[in-house]
Amino acid sequence: MTALGDYKRERIDELAARAGQLPEGDAGLSLTRSAVRRLRRDPVAITGAVIVLVFLVVAAFAPLLAPRDPVTQYLLSEIRPGLIPGSQEGFPLGADNLGRDLLSRLIYGSRQSLLIGVVSTVLGLVVGMTLGVLAGAFGGWVDTLVMRFVDIILSIPGLLMAITVSVLLGQNQYALMIAIAVVQVPIFARLLRGSMLVQRGSDYAVAARALGVRKSRIVFGHVLPNSLSPVIVQATLSLATAIIEAAALSYLGLGDPDIARPEWGAMLANAQDFLSIRPALAVWPALCIIVVALGFTLLGERLREALDPKFRR
């Protein structure tokens, strides 16, 4: 029987490749990159990313974007108790209770708010992950000890713990970040441990053991990277929670002591005293918080789907 000529063979190979289930562009893409690819095609994820990006840009270029200095009390002499100048020439959103430009404060506020979000999340992530890795990698009594500790922390009301942390560390912006981070720690620790336990029993981890790969490399080279995706998702979501949490702490008087430095949470909390006369002072920062939180959450939720092993094919 005559087999196909070489030319035809190639043609068929080509067709066969095209018929394969993977989109051509995906060839050789790692899971992370193909997840990013999927995200790029997801309108919801894009919406989230655009929101986050816009605010990042605003934060980065605040000095260029803000029409005025955010701390100068331009209109202080016009302020009377019960009267705060509204929007006017040169102050598109009006002034705040000390005669500062609200718009500029909102723009500069993105810096501090995002910073709080990022730093506290990273902090919570690092500590939580360290605990999680300890528990997940060693198992046994280390695991028990770490997890009991985490349980203990979990059973303390979160806000209460944040309050005591701020009180303990004195009030400054770092204490605020730490206070927010502390609440995140048990979440990350449990998440990572759970996911590492699953991955540790997976075939590829056993395979690595069978290959004689060193334990440290199995943990850090295989198990850990594969356990990270829920943690990454949680971290994205935490960015949003951290900003909201900052507002709550500011409201309780535990925020950044340099309150001239604009930050949405503190602005919102501070505006509570003027709700009856200028609700805009509260509405704008609240809106900013909600929109940014929305952005991070949308991104996080979609990331969860994109990283879900169910979608790996």
Partner 1 sequence: SSDRDSGEGDGEGDAAQSGGTLVFGAAGDPAMFDPAFASDGETFRIARQIHEGLLTNEPGTTELVPALAEDWEVSEDGLEYTFNLREDVQFHDGTDFNAEAVCFNFDRWHNFTGLAQSPSATYYYQAVFGGFADSENPGIYEGCEATDENTAVVSFNQVTSKIPAALSLPAFSIQSPTALQEYDADNLSGSEDAITYTEYALEHPTGTGPFKFESWDRGNGEVTIVRNEDYWGEPAKLDEIIFRTIPEGNTRRQELQAGTIDGYDFVSPADYQTLEDDGFQVLVRDPFNILYLGFNGGNVEGTQANPALQDPRVRQAIAHAIDRETIVNSLLPEGSEVATNFMPPSVDGWADDVPTYEYDPERARQLLEEAGAAGTTLRFYYPTDVSRPYLPDPAAMFQVIAEDLREVGLNIEPVALQWNPDYLQAVQAGQADIHLLGWTGDYNDAYNFIGTFFAEDQNNQASAEFGAFSAPEIFAALAQADAAPDPSDRTDLYQEANRLIKEFLPAVPISHSPPALVVAENVQGLEPSPLTAEDFSTVTLQD
Partner 2 sequence: MLRFIVRRLFQLVPILLGLSVLLFAWLRALPGGPAQAALGERATPEAIAQYNELFGLDEPLIVQYFRFLGRAITLDFGTSTQYGRPVTEVFLERFPGTIELTLLAMVFAIGVGIPLGYLAARRHGSFLDSASVVGSLIGVAIPVFFLAYLLRLLFAVELGWLPGSGRQDVRIDATRITNFYVLDGLLTREWDAAWDALLHLILPAIALGTIPLAIIVRITRASVLDVVNEDYVRTANAKGLAMATVRRRHIVRNALLPVSTTIGLQTGLLLSGAVLTETVFAFGGVGLTLRDAITYRDFAILQGFILMLAIVYVLVNLLVDISYGLLDPRVRVR
Partner 3 sequence: MTAVPIAGQDDLLRVEDLKVHFPIRKGIFFDRTVGHVQAVDGVSLTVPRGATYGLVGESGCGKSTLGRAILRLEEPTSGRVLFDGTDVAALKGEPLRQMRQRMQMVFQDPLGSLDPRQNVESLLSEPLRAHGLAGGKAGIAEKIRGLLDAVGLPSAALRRYPHEFSGGQRQRIGIARAVALEPDLLIADEPVSALDVSVQAQVLNLLEELQERLGLTYLIIAHDLAVVRHISDVVGVMYLGSLVEQAPADDLYEQPLHPYTRALMSAVPVPDPEIEEQRERILLAGDLPSPADPPSGCRFHTRCPWRQETRCDDEVPVLRELGPGRLVSCHWAEEIRDGALRPRSPEEVLHAGAASRPGSGAHPRDDDPTPFLGRDEPLPRQEQG
CA distance 33 to 39: 10
| DSSP category for residue 26 | G
Contact between 73 and partner 1 (CB under 8 A)?
Answer: yes
CA atoms lying within 13 Å on the CB side of residue 201: 6
CA distance 267 to 98: 12
Contact between 160 and partner 1 (CB under 8 A)?
Answer: no
Contact partner, 247, from partner 3, partner 1, partner 2, none, Cβ < 5-8 Å per class: partner 2
Contact partner, 290, from partner 1, partner 3, partner 2, none, Cβ < 5-8 Å per class: partner 2
Write down the number of H helices and E strands in the chain: 13, 0
Residues near partner 2 (CB under 8 A): 148-149, 151-152, 154-160, 163-164, 167-168, 170, 240-241, 244, 247-248, 251-252, 265, 268-269, 272, 275, 282, 286, 289-290, 293-294, 297-298, 301
Nearer to partner 2 by Cβ, of 12 and 152: the residue is: 152
List 2, 21, 30, 77, residue binding partner 1 (CB under 8 A):
77
Place of tokens 């919406």: 47
| Contact criterion met (CB below 8 Å) for 237 and 300 | yes
Nearer to partner 2 by Cβ, of 148 and 217: the residue is: 148
Contact partner, 71, from partner 3, partner 1, partner 2, none, Cβ < 5-8 Å per class: partner 1
Q: How far is CA 229 from each of CA 31, 225, 302, rounded to the nearest angstrom?
A: 11, 8, 12
Contact between 88 and partner 1 (CB under 8 A)?
Answer: no
Give me 125's structure tokens: 């992530």
CA distance 54 to 102: 19
Nearer to partner 3 by Cβ, of 93 and 289: the residue is: 289
CA distance 291 to 233: 18
Residues near partner 3 (CB under 8 A): 22, 26-32, 154, 157-159, 162, 183-184, 186-188, 190-191, 193-194, 197, 202-204, 206-214, 217, 222, 225-226, 230, 234, 241, 244-245, 248, 309, 312-313
Shortest distance in whole angstroms from residue 88 CB to partner 3: 37
Q: Give the count of beta carbons closer than 10 Å to the beta carbon of residue 225.
A: 12
| Contact criterion met (CB below 8 Å) for 265 and 249 | yes
Nearer to partner 3 by Cβ, of 104 and 229: the residue is: 229
| DSSP category for residue 70 | S
Contact residues: partner 1, CB under 8 A: 71-73, 76-83, 97-99, 167, 170-171, 252-255, 257-260, 270, 272-277
